[in-house]
Amino acid sequence: QVQLLQSGGGVVQPGRSLRLSCAASGFAFGSNGMHWVRQAPGKGLEWVAVIWYDGSEKYYADSVKGRFTISRDNSKSTMDLQMNSLRVEDTAVYYCARWGNDKVLDYWGQGALVTVSS
Amino acid sequence: DIVMTQTPLSSPVTLGQPASISCRSSQSLVHSDGNTYLSWLQQRPGQPPRLLIYKISNRFSGVPDRFSGSGAGTDFTLKISRVEAEDVGLYYCVQAAQFPWTFGQGTKVEIK
């Protein structure tokens, strides 16, 4: 079965960096694009970034553009989100999600809490 | 960016009774390929979101048939025919017609 296992997360000071990872199993990872979506405490869902199945294209939300970098290693079935220059408003649970057929987010990781605080 | 607006934001429902959530987009979600990429997600308390409905009205694998979706263009609806206790949670519409993908604010379904 499809599984997305996330790691990383934690407490970090404003201006510092953090890296999240998402390890996939149960499907041909190199055949699917992947997304990051975040959810601030008590708030709704916000799309963060996407990477094409082969890494050829990447798009970011304006709120993270220039600070966050999405990447993937198809040989290891992993995807990462490098977060630099973190701000208090980046505090959220970050989810990785698979880009399924028909432009859906069909499987989600368990989430990783990132807290940006001094 | 496409703005997704859900109503109501809260829906207290009696067990066994129907529930309905509306989602309106600020522009048409019809893609150049002719498909309408509007999905619905369910998020139970403390859980990651789960895909329920895709392309307006298609139930994802394992989703009970009490969930149904309808609509076209800019107006969409998620209906639960008979609410069960396990349906409590937040429901989000999401558009994938263009980047950035955007979500509705979420509708909380709770039991009266």
Contact B99 A59 (CB under 8 A): yes
Contact A105 B94 (CB under 8 A): yes
pLDDT band at B27 (very low <50, low <70, confident <90, very high): very high
pLDDT band at B55 (very low <50, low <70, confident <90, very high): very high
The pLDDT assigned to A76 comes to 98
pLDDT band at A111 (very low <50, low <70, confident <90, very high): very high
Which segments within B1-112 are labelled E, that is strand?
4-7, 10-13, 19-25, 38-43, 50-54, 58-59, 67-72, 75-80, 89-95, 102-103, 107-111
A111 touches chain B (CB under 8 A): yes
The pLDDT assigned to B108 comes to 98
A56 touches chain B (CB under 8 A): no
| Contact yes or no for A48/A31 (Cβ under 8 A) | no
pLDDT band at B58 (very low <50, low <70, confident <90, very high): very high
The average pLDDT across A62-79 equals 98
Taking the C-alpha atoms of residue B88 and residue B93, their distance in angstroms, rounded to an integer, is 16
Contact B105 A46 (CB under 8 A): no
pLDDT band at B66 (very low <50, low <70, confident <90, very high): very high
pLDDT band at A60 (very low <50, low <70, confident <90, very high): very high
Report the Cα–Cα distance between both ends of chain A, in Å, rounded: 40
The pLDDT assigned to A94 comes to 98
pLDDT band at B47 (very low <50, low <70, confident <90, very high): very high
